[in-house]
Chain A
Amino acid sequence: MSGKQFDHLKALVVEDNPHMRTLLRTLLNALGIKQVAEAADGTEGFKELRALAPDFVLTDLSMKPMDGIEFTRLVRASQEVPNPYVPIVMVTGHTERNRIEAARDAGVTEIIAKPITVQGLFSRVAEIVERPRPFVRAEEFFGPDRRRRAKREFKGPWRRFDDEVELQ
């Protein structure tokens, strides 16, 4: 398959390490995604995002001056972005729990731990294409629903209109 039918797809890679940025771009190219914009930090990434309106974003976590968490918060909260629901996949070497939770709470859609593997990257891209997540808008959060699955042992409180359906 040539991948030509995906010429309209647009991706944005926000990563301060030029080698990793090139690798990610080239892997996306191998998937048939030819329009890949690049940025070296969140500030630059936000400008690119406004201009390009990408279909999804890959972002690193640690960058200066604006890191991937702040960038994600900005994308979710800003009135200036074309699509605040855009899937954001965080590609990070940080495996510390507090950073992963901070990324999730900022509104990241998926997280991939470095080192990057083809399987890891492609499975997350497949996930955002095949199974888009519902979004939640609350007083202090806007982003993909952080509840991935219903837990059988969960006894409430029931706060969702679809809780009962999920658990039956």
Chain B
Amino acid sequence: MNAMVQAQGKRLSNGVELIASDAYPAVMPKADAALFIANLKSEETARLSEEVITASRDTMREALNGYIDALQGASKALDISALFAQAHEIRGLAETAGFGVAGRMANGLCLYIDALDGAPFDRATIGLHVEAIGRVVSGEDAGAIANVVAEELTALVIRKLGEAKALGLPG
């Protein structure tokens, strides 16, 4: 194993040690860093990166369909932990797969489940999210319609969390 990096900082009056950024190893030397940043901002890198994203889209869509099947299964079983796990995967992948609206809906579902923190949930709120996400990814809802549905779902989550809070539940 490599020797462990040791860096010395300045001790403050409250006992805290502040270690300057030049006291420990940089990611790369300054001369390399300038080249690296120029490369990172270059048109060629932008083109290559977009190619990577485009090439990954089909695989992401396939994966997304798998997560949606699992999300629907978790919804039927009312397994809230599995619902959160699947919605979390969907919010991470949907945009890259070309379904940003489904990602927003999945994010709303995650925030709803997370805010309830184990308190009783509204089945209709969960069901509407699951159905809407499925419709977007299957292509049944798209464009302006999907956006309106997403906005309505956000409003629903806000209302339901408000109701939960009024009842003294987490939210």
Contacts and interface: CB of A to CB of B under 8 A. Distances in A.
Query: Are A and B bound to each other?
Result: yes
Interface of A: 1, 3, 5-6, 9, 17, 19-20, 22-23, 26-27, 30-32, 50-51, 53, 55-56, 62, 79-85, 87, 93-96, 114-118, 122, 125-126, 128-139, 145, 159-162
Given A129-B33, A161-B18, A82 B49 contact: no
15 contacts: A19-B63, A23-B53, A30-B48, A62-B88, A82-B5, A83-B25, A87-B27, A115-B95, A122-B41, A128-B27, A131-B21, A132-B26, A135-B18, A160-B12, A161-B18
B163 interface: no
Given A81-B4, A82-B1, A139-B15, A114 B91 contact: yes
B49 A118 contact: yes
B166 interface: no
B7 interface: yes
B91 to A, nearest CB: 5
B14 A23 contact: no
B77 interface: no
Chain A interface, DSSP helix/strand/loop, else mixed = loop
B134 interface: no
A85 B24 contact: yes
Interface string B45-71: 110111111011001100100000000
B93 A20 contact: yes
A134 B159 CA distance: 43
Interface residues of B, number: 62
B27 A129 contact: yes
A3 B12 CA distance: 42
B19 to A, nearest CB: 4
Given A3-B39, A6-B39, A83-B5, A115 B27 contact: no
A126 B34 CA distance: 10
B18 A22 contact: no
Interface in B9-45: 9-10, 12-22, 24-28, 32-33, 35-42, 44-45
A105 B27 CA distance: 22
Nearest to A132: B21
A129 to B, nearest CB: 5
A4 B95 CA distance: 31
Contacts of A81: 4
B151 interface: no
A97 to B, nearest CB: 10
B102 to A, nearest CB: 11
A9 B37 CA distance: 14
Given A1-B44, A19-B63, A135-B9, A118 B1 contact: no
B28 A161 contact: no
